[in-house]
Structure 1
Amino acid sequence: MSKYDSYFLMKAEEVPDYVQEKLSYFDKDARLECKEIGDGNLNYVFRVKDPASGKSIIVKQAGEALRISAEMHVSTDRGRIEAKILGIQDSYAPGLVPKVYLYDGTMCAMAMEDMTGHTMMRTGLLKHEIYPRFADHVTTFMVNSLLRTTDVVMGHKEKKELVKSFINPDLCEISEDLVYSEPFIDYNHRNNVFPPNAEFVKKELYEDQALHLEAAKLKFEFMNNAQSLIHGDLHTGSVFINKEHTYIFDPEFAFYGPMGYDIGNVIANMFFAWCNGDATIEDEKEKEEFCGWCLNTISDIVDLFIEKYNKVFDEHVTETMAKVPGFKEWYLEGILSDTAGVAGLESIRRTVGMANVIDITTIPDAEKRARAEKIVITLAKNYIMNRRSFRCGADYLKAVKEATGKF
């Protein structure tokens, strides 16, 4: 009988023994080292390494309570969901997600490829690193993993089976509260508002009833549009990257929802990087280069997504009625509207909600941070209120120019 026959939360010193029992990845007599490297809100992440061979592996275990709040409990089934979706995503976008070697339903633990030679993208962006191939890689990933899991391409019965398999109520509830509700109506009193902007937030967010209505519409779109198998938390902390290659990981929030949710998240988080660079880079040439790349990446993500969407749609469409002239364009319009709306929601919740983004919170100058937050909120409201007018990359660049010009 194994100690791993019933669930418990492992400590770093226990993980090497676990790996050796469950896998044949390392030599049996290897002297393994292990370190807990997780910095997320939900899980415990361990790197197990054999110094002699240089081989390493990642073990990720789902805890029963959130690391950011012991009072918030979520189902450990999210580990199964993550392992399964990584396999599906790898089949549609090979090479852009890490390989999964094991999922253990008892220990709620997954062993996966160690993405050596890569940096968490948010960490790199905080150092103002530029990743020239990111827009190309992330749009390839999104178009293939999103469009090809819709009814446009997938057999309807197969898709419905996946919808059932990826019902993810606990983590969806987190998004429904923290993204779609609390930033606008702080009914759980968990928002983190930067004090210098308290009055601005009160006026622009808490008291704007028209904005609340649009957020409510988007919330019900999120809850009821089982369009595509989405990543569900696709931000720059869910990307490992270098100058030549990109890995997308951490899809534990995955479920069948509107595909614009993923695209909008990426756009919002690229603008957070712009905010940090704009506020903290002193050399004007360096600032122009980094911030210009951030904005061009946002524009390229939208335009490359559209270009690749049209190609993948034409190559893989199977649904008879989706081949009717005009449908492809109509379907894309809905995706682009959702994208802009979610870019706004993610922007606001990461600025005033429970889980603030460090791109903003680490800006040391209080006045510059306050300005950055006002720009983000102003831009986000434009995204949400006028989401049907964002149809190409240039529309986003125009909106950024308008928002930055006000402060």
Structure 2
Amino acid sequence: MINYSVRFTLGSGNKKVLKYAKQTSFFNRLCEIEEECQSNSLEVKEEEEGIKLTGHICKPTVNHGNSTQIYTFVNGRPIKDNLLIGAIRYAYQDFILSGRYPFAVLHLEIPYDQVDVNVHPNKSEVRFQNKRLVYEIVRRGIIKALSTRVGTFAASDVESQSIEEFDSQEQIDSKEKKNQKEFYEKRPSILENRLMKEFNAPDERKQSLSGSFKYEGIEKSTPQKGVIVLEREQIDLVEDHPLGCAHCQVYNTYIIAEAKGKLIIVDQHAAHERLIYECLKQKSSIKRQKLLLPETVEIKNQAGMEMVEMCKDKLFEMGFGVEIQSEDKVTVKEIPAILGTINVREMVMNIIDRLMEIGDNLPIEEKVLATIACHGSIRAGRKMMLEEMNELLRRMEETKCAGQSNHGRPTYIEMKLSGIEKLFERR
């Protein structure tokens, strides 16, 4: 992999097992070895204090049950290092399920006086002088790649094109390029946004969630005029926004939207879950709501009770007022306000499961916030109004990592119009 400018062949008897041509770039060699890199690769670049990180990772949808697809190199030498693998897994924790491993090929160039290669007879391990810095460079480099490049996921049966490829299209005008640039910019928290409040009050359907659709201004006596206004606004959404204009909801789970030259299918639960999660991560404190009737939860697992006791103060910061009642019972008096009406026992048990997964090795915030986001987001089967659908699309365009759920699934896929036309043999 790392010596891409060298041609390699491997034979066994008269049979050639491997044959790799001389390549002009590291990426070309990766694509030669791993075909999935061609369409799923994200470039990683990071540098600090003389330490340079380069390489390629795959989108989170490409994942495996073990770490055999993680390749790390230091100064041109392949190594296996738990510190690097730990940094890679930590960077991916918001994107893939626990127990799954990403595909990653990373090369660290480090000044020779800052790394000891003589700690293993086969030179397969090294000792870093500044472990914390190396860990941070790897973690930060991967998160940057994932945050800025994780976009849409194409339907496998049709020709597609992801939003990250917009700039390569010659026909895109400057306005569309501006929208593409802004698609992944970090925006201020929208936790207090009216959208979130409406989503937590499913029975309140009458008020519009945004100013994009001026239903209040449509007079009943002139329905034709109202239809014309709506159509014009729909056209503007299709032309000016990467995720276009929502047209309908199917199975009360998926939003069907039309964008310029393509069809968008959004998983409403996965998309809203990512929005809430990113909002919660930006909040220094989370608003709590008191339960009218405190919920007593029995925890039969002793390790689970120990984790609750150890993390009680941190849970309070994240919106949970929990009191220990006995060796196997806790009382929940407050929950995050964003959750609304939920099954408190189920929520607490899920959080305990997440805490036990990570133990005391990693900060607990990410796992707990991800659980809150899952319970607080729009459920599959929840009917949405057209205004809500479009507001969800707009919020996705303003939120980083919006193309990926917290569990490694795409929040939406796209189908190019040209691909659909091919299916119907129209071209």
Q: Per residue, is there more strand in 1 or in 2?
A: 2
Assess same fold via TM > 0.5. no
* Max Rg structure: 2
In the superposition, the TM-score normalised over structure 1's length comes to 0.27
